[in-house]
C-alpha cells in the first residue's frame, strides 16, 4: 500500500466516524427551521423526497398549503405513528395551492408573513415544497434537456461511456468516503449514492474547485496493451471545498451504475460537443480496427458500444461516424458504404483509442478485429 492510498484511507476513517446531526426530536416530531421544505424533510426522514405527500397528509391541521411551512411549526413524522392511530383525520382533498398550482396570495392566520405566488421559473419563494435555489449554479452542458435533442452525442452518452485506460498511469484524485444522508433512524439506508445525493470525497488532488466535475469509476477487464476497461458509475459536481484541502463535498448529477462509498474518482473531461453541430460526409477517412466490444459478448445491437484503435492522436473527435466492414483492412479503404456491416458514432476519445456507440446494424456478423473507416467527420 503506497503513501497516497494510506492517506486516503486515513481521511476516509476520520470522516466515517464524524458525528451525525440528529435527524428528529425525541418525540417523533420535527420542529421546522428556516429553509426547511416538505421535499427536503421527506428526503431526510423517509429517504425519498417524492414521499412528501405523506408528511403533508399527516400534518393537514398544521400545514394549510404544502407549498408553505413556517419556522416554529411542529410536524409529526410517519415513523413515529407507524402501526398506530395518528390522532389526526386524513385530508379528504388537497387545497388549491397544492404542488403544481400557484400558491394563493393569502395572509397567514395570526399575523404571519404573506404568502406569495410563484415568480418566474427559477425564482420560487423560500419555503416552497420544490427545492429550487435561484443562486445555485447551472450544470450547463450536463443538462440533457438542453443538449440531447440537437447534439449528435448527448452528455449522458459522453460522460457514461466506458473507456480504455492505463491503470498504472491514470491519476485518481480521490475516493468517495461517505454519502451524506439524514434519514429516519428506523430506516436502513443503502450505502449506494443516488441522483442529487451529497457525497464527501477524500482527495489527493488539492486543485479541485467548486464547479469541477468528477467521475466515480469501476475497473473492468484488461484488453492487452490497449488498456483496461474503466466504467463510469456516477458523475458529481464539487459544491464545497474545505480549508484543509483534504476533502470536498459534491452533488451527484448523473448515475450510470452502482455508485457506492469507496469508489475511486477521476476528473471528468469537458463536454466537447457544440449544440447544433453536425458531422460532415468524408470519402477517404482514416482506417482502424475494432479492438473489442465494451461488454464481453458475441453480438452487438443498436445502443451498445465498442472500442476502436483510433483516438485523439489520430484526429478522431467525439461525433465522428465510422462504418464497420467484413473485408480486409486494405479492401475497407475502397469498400462501398452500402456494404458496411454496422455504423457507429464516437462518443468518447482518448489519446490512442475511442469509444463508439452502435447506431445501425445491417449485418450481425461484426466481430472484434473488423476494419473500420471514418465516413463522417465533425468540424474542427
What three-state secondary structure class fits 52? helix
pLDDT at residue number 342: 95
**Single pTM value for the model:** 0.61
Question: How does DSSP classify residue 81?
Answer: H
Give DSSP secondary structure letters for 145-169.
HHHTTT-SS-HHHHHH--EEE-TTT
What's the mean pLDDT when you consider all of the chain? 76
Among residues 46, 57, 52, 56, which one has the least CA distance to residue 23? 46
Residue 97 has pLDDT above 70, yes or no: no
As a whole-number percent, the residues of the chain with pLDDT over 70 amount to: 71
Domains of the chain and CATH, by start: 32-135 (no CATH), 140-267 (2.40.10), 280-377 (2.40.10.340)
pLDDT at residue number 86: 35
Q: What is the arithmetic mean of pLDDT over 322-343?
A: 92
Question: How does DSSP classify residue 372?
Answer: E
CB-based burial label for 325 (10 Å; 0-12, 13-18, 19+): buried
Residue 144 has pLDDT above 80, yes or no: no
Amino acid at each position: 500500500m503506497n503513501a497516497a492510498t494510506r492517506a486516503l484511507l486515513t481521511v476516509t476513517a476520520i470522516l466515517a466516524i464524524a458525528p451525525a446531526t440528529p435527524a428528529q426530536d425525541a418525540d417523533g416530531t420535527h420542529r421546522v427551521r428556516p429553509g426547511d421544505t416538505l421535499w427536503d424533510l421527506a428526503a431526510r426522514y423517509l429517504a425519498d423526497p417524492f414521499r412528501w405527500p405523506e408528511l403533508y397528509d399527516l400534518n393537514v391541521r398544521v400545514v394549510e398549503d404544502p407549498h408553505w411551512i413556517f419556522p416554529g411549526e411542529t410536524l409529526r413524522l410517519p415513523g413515529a405513528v407507524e402501526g398506530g392511530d395518528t390522532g389526526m383525520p386524513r385530508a379528504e382533498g388537497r387545497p388549491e395551492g397544492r404542488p403544481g398550482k400557484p400558491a394563493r396570495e393569502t395572509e397567514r392566520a395570526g399575523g404571519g408573513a404573506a404568502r406569495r405566488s410563484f415568480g418566474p421559473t427559477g425564482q420560487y419563494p423560500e419555503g416552497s415544497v420544490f427545492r429550487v435555489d435561484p443562486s445555485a449554479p447551472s450544470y450547463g452542458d450536463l443538462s440533457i434537456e438542453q443538449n440531447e435533442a440537437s447534439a449528435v452525442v448527448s452528455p449522458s452518452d459522453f460522460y457514461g461511456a466506458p473507456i480504455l485506460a492505463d491503470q498504472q498511469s491514470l491519476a485518481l484524485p480521490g475516493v468517495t468516503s461517505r454519502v451524506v444522508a439524514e434519514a429516519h433512524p428506523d430506516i436502513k439506508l443503502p450505502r449506494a449514492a443516488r441522483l442529487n445525493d451529497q457525497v464527501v470525497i477524500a482527495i489527493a488532488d488539492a486543485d479541485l474547485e467548486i464547479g469541477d466535475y468528477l467521475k466515480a469509476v469501476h475497473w473492468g477487464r484488461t484488453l492487452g496493451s490497449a488498456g483496461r476497461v474503466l466504467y463510469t458509475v456516477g458523475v458529481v459536481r464539487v459544491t464545497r471545498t474545505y480549508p484543509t484541502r483534504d476533502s470536498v463535498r459534491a452533488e451527484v448529477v448523473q448515475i450510470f451504475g452502482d455508485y457506492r462509498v469507496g469508489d475511486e474518482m477521476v476528473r471528468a473531461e469537458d463536454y466537447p460537443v457544440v449544440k447544433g453541430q453536425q458531422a460532415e460526409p468524408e470519402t477517404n477517412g482514416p482506417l482502424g480496427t475494432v479492438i473489442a466490444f465494451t461488454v464481453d459478448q458475441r453480438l452487438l445491437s443498436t445502443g451498445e458500444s465498442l472500442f476502436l484503435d483510433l483516438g485523439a492522436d489520430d484526429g478522431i473527435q467525439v461525433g465522428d461516424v465510422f462504418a464497420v466492414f467484413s473485408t480486409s483492412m486494405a479492401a475497407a479503404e475502397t469498400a462501398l458504404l452500402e456494404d458496411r456491416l454496422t455504423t457507429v458514432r464516437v462518443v468518447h476519445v482518448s489519446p490512442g483509442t475511442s469509444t463508439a456507440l452502435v447506431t445501425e446494424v445491417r449485418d450481425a456478423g461484426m466481430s472484434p478485429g473488423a476494419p473500420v473507416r471514418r465516413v463522417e467527420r465533425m468540424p474542427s
